Amino acid sequence: MTRVRLVSAQEQTEEESYQRSLRPSVLAEFTGQKQVVANLAIAVEAARRRQEALDHVLLYGPPGLGKTTLAHIIANEMKSNIISTSGPAIERPGDLMGILTNLEDGDVLFIDEIHRLPKVVEEFIYSAMEDFQIDFVVDKGAFAKTIKVPLKRFTLVGATTRAGLLSAPLRERFGIFHHLDFYPPEELAEILRRSASILKVSVEDEAGAEIARRSRGTPRVANRLLKRVRDYAQVKADGVITKDVVGASLAMEGIDDVGLDNLDRKYLRAIIEFYGGGPVGIEALAATLNEEQDTLVDMVEPFLLKIGFVVRTASGRRATEHAFRHLGIAPNVQKGLPSLF
């Protein structure tokens, strides 16, 4: 069973329409990632002036930072259609062939989690990206023959959280590469102001800054927290979101002043109180917490590494003094083994 966490950057099925309603539709409305936006604006304008399809674009970085949003913005800016799919959804070359042959000139094909494309599909897409044609084999054995099917000139936008898992031949066929990084609190506060205005919610400046500070540098998390705080404010505080309302609401959700939730704190306490601050291997941590290793590596550790609460060493994970202080534990003092639950 997949753990549902309020501060997870992974998109949850039930909130897709909510997040979609808050997405900007043009580059001028996109907050943050200034260098990425500036470079995309130039590439899009140049392609429009030449009346050509935009070069293929690869967007990579942690989840929830705007890769899907930028793909839709590219399509809007190019005044073209966008067809969205994901790597795991395309199992055979035939699945992709149907999509590619229906694309019109300038259309955008967006493939999320492109690193999870099966190898046989990945090799099939090479000629589509480079030569705008696909080679389709019919019959077998001595009767096999290859049919070349021409394609309209389209733009492939690939998104991935693990660029290192992409093969070199696939990476090299993208003309534009951009890395999206975590957002500073000031930019998240600006995103929250825009979202609050769309939702017609009254948010005081200090309250917006407080939500931004707890949003783990991720717009998707910021908008999700805004939704939860809005609900609390409507029931408990006459609909006005103040700093105190934010504190009370997120305390009920178990989210502390730096954005850690219960699983994050359990992870840190396991390292500190069970293993003396580390180093400890991920297998031992997963067994101690009764969690999957992938859950800890993909959902817990990235933010703790970013804020310097944990470091990875050759011998395992180690908690830093920042983590000790945050939990109110004196560094290098051996503790007992209290319950983590």
Contact criterion met (CB below 8 Å) for 31 and 291: no
Q: How confident is the model at residue 133 (pLDDT cuts 50, 70, 90)?
A: confident
Residues 220 and 167 in one domain: no
Residue 140 has pLDDT above 80, yes or no: no
Active-site hit among 112, 173, 317, 320: 112
Residues 153 and 113 in one domain: yes
Domain edge (last residue) among 179, 198, 219: 179
Residue 339 in any domain: the answer is: no
Q: How confident is the model at residue 44 (pLDDT cuts 50, 70, 90)?
A: very high
Residues 222 and 275 in one domain: no
Q: Is 161 annotated as catalytic?
A: yes
Residue 8 in any domain: the answer is: no
Q: Which two tokens stand for residue 47?
A: 């392609």
Q: Is 171 annotated as catalytic?
A: no
CA-wise closest residue to 63 among 208, 240, 218, 205: 218
Average pLDDT, stretch 22-37? 89
Domain edge (last residue) among 231, 252, 273: 252
Q: How confident is the model at residue 334 (pLDDT cuts 50, 70, 90)?
A: very low
Residues 213 and 148 in one domain: no
Residues 190 and 81 in one domain: no
CATH of residue 248: 1.10.8.60
| Domain total in the chain | 3
Residue type, 320: T
Active-site hit among 5, 173, 220, 269: 220
CATH of residue 269: 1.10.10.10
Q: How confident is the model at residue 341 (pLDDT cuts 50, 70, 90)?
A: very low
Residues 115 and 169 in one domain: yes
Higher pLDDT, 58 or 137: 58
pLDDT in tens, 280-310: 888 888 888 888 888 888 788 888 888 889 9
Active-site hit among 31, 68, 69, 160: 68
Q: Is 313 annotated as catalytic?
A: no
Residue 130 has pLDDT above 80, yes or no: yes
Residue 267 in any domain: the answer is: yes
Residues 219 and 247 in one domain: yes
Residue 1 has pLDDT above 50, yes or no: no
CATH of residue 172: 3.40.50.300
Residues 72 and 162 in one domain: yes
Domain edge (last residue) among 124, 152, 179: 179
Residues 29 and 144 in one domain: yes
Higher pLDDT, 237 or 35: 35
Percent of the chain with pLDDT over 70: 89
What local confidence, expressed as pLDDT, does residue 339 receive? Answer: 40
Q: Considering the chain, what is the average pLDDT of its residues?
A: 84
Residue 335 in any domain: the answer is: no
Q: Is 68 annotated as catalytic?
A: yes
Residue 231 has pLDDT above 70, yes or no: yes
Residue 198 in any domain: the answer is: yes
Residue 10 has pLDDT above 60, yes or no: no
Quote the domain boundaries for residue 239: 185-252
Active-site hit among 5, 67, 224, 318: 67
Residue 217 in any domain: the answer is: yes
Average pLDDT, stretch 257-282? 87
Higher pLDDT, 234 or 141: 234
What local confidence, expressed as pLDDT, does residue 118 receive? Answer: 87
What local confidence, expressed as pLDDT, does residue 233 receive? Answer: 87
Residue 338 has pLDDT above 70, yes or no: no
Query: Considering the entire predicted model, what is its pTM?
Result: 0.81
What local confidence, expressed as pLDDT, does residue 141 receive? Answer: 66
Residues 100 and 225 in one domain: no
What local confidence, expressed as pLDDT, does residue 2 receive? Answer: 47
Percent of the chain with pLDDT over 90: 26
pLDDT in tens, 237-264: 888 888 888 888 988 888 888 889 888 8
